[in-house]
Amino acid sequence: MTPIVKAVRAAEASIVNIRGEKTVNGESLVVGEGEPGRHVNGMGTGVVIDPRGYIITNHHVVSGVREIQVTLADGRRFVARSIAHDPETDLAVIKIDAPDNLPVLRIGRSSDLMTGETVIAVGNAYGYENTVTQGIISALHRAVQVSDAQLYSDLIQTDASINPGNSGGPLLNIDGEMIGVNVAVRAGAQGIGFAIPIDKAMRVASDLLDRRNVRSFHHGLVLGETAPREGRGLSVVSIDEDSPAATAGIRPGDVVTRIGDVEVDGPIDFQRALLDRLPGDELRLALRRDNRAVNVDLTLAAASSASRAKNSPAWEALGMDLERISPSDFRRRFKTSYRGGLSVTAVRPDSPAASQGIRPGDVLVGIHIWETVSLEHVSYILEKSDAATEDSVKFFILRDGGTFYGYVSLASTGKKTR
């Protein structure tokens, strides 16, 4: 058995076929495919990323589809529902309700790929199920403009054939690990195929699942990836005060290595462990603390009750209720140099924010000299930074495609320390 055969055998049970009827309006995402205003039977491929039936694929494969039909490698068919999607990166997560756990494809890394490396593409090319093609990595970091609305950046280029129907399927390395998500952006191209690097795809998938989870419950953890020399897991960067994480005794500097029965190697694993959880659910977390193994139990809180507690400094000092925007959603909605922002969901009448004309729908991107990427940033700025001693601070908001700024008073907050 050759290495390529072994790689395909290891991956094929986790690869699914996706079909569904859609109406093509305007320019198709895949160059050379479709005509305006006509019904077509869409086809594509997906990959199981969680045994409970969560599947990653391309956004354009499932966008506008009336009924997403998924066929597993063993022939079973299910109707899937859309969980989350990001048109900018052309990625989506869907789910089927299978009666048993599904095999999950092993995830590799795209950060250390090399030009000339052997790769394998598997998918539903032109409707022919489980089509396998072989090639090499021709180039890295390619940018491809397929329409006025769609620019792919940082793609893997390969000479393995990737045709319509392959979109959403895996690009494998010789070990059978997924190193990219195939995307058929050049219909009929000979010797030129592209794939979204797996590191980017998993980061986007994590953001998409986080956006879904954050609406349901609150845990109070802010996590970051560990350096390779520090071993597997996610490092605890900070913890919200009076949060479930604080109650559980988790500390900054701890490393989360497992949640329940899910091993945590990266952000996607953390979000997978939280899928289908509800407020009140208890999670067993395995931590690494000062080279010791520690287990703690964390009980999830309702998102609604947690939101005001997290926002209380902004509400009390400025009169604004703020809500997190996921990184992928922020990048999709705003073309700006700011790294992120917080959505203004409510403004208290007669508050400092109201007096400056801030209104619901604005996006707060900065206070004083700091960006407001997270709710924790705002709490720090208003309670612990040198801005807390000022009579007023400068703020920056996004509104209707523009950036606006002003000065908001802190004189009446009762938090001044000088």
Spatial separation of the C-alpha atoms in residues 324 and 344, rounded to whole Å: 9
- SS3 string, 21-38, reads EEEECCCCCCECCCCCCE
| Tokens representing residue 269 in the block | 């694993």
Which helix H or strand E contains 48, and what residues bound it? strand 38-50
Strand-pairing partners, residue 258, are 263, 286
Of 120, 44, 28, the residue nearest 80 (C-alpha): 44
- Neighbouring residues of 205: CB distance < 8 A, sequence distance ≥ 6: 49, 56, 91, 93, 268, 271
Of 322, 346, 343, the residue nearest 333 (C-alpha): 343
Q: Which of 59, 60, 218, 377 is the catalytic position?
A: 60
| Tokens representing residue 169 in the block | 């399927």
Q: Which of 110, 138, 167, 379 is the catalytic position?
A: 167
Q: How far apart are the first and last CA of the chain?
A: 75
DSSP helix/strand/coil, 171: strand
Of 18, 25, 33, 102, the residue nearest 67 (C-alpha): 18
Whether residue 167 lies in the annotated active site: yes
Angle CA(383)–CA(387)–CA(391) in degrees, nearest 5? 105
| Tokens representing residue 266 in the block | 């990266």
Whether residue 60 lies in the annotated active site: yes
Whether residue 243 lies in the annotated active site: no
Q: Which of 86, 90, 207, 210 is the catalytic position?
A: 90
What are the catalytic residues? 60, 90, 167
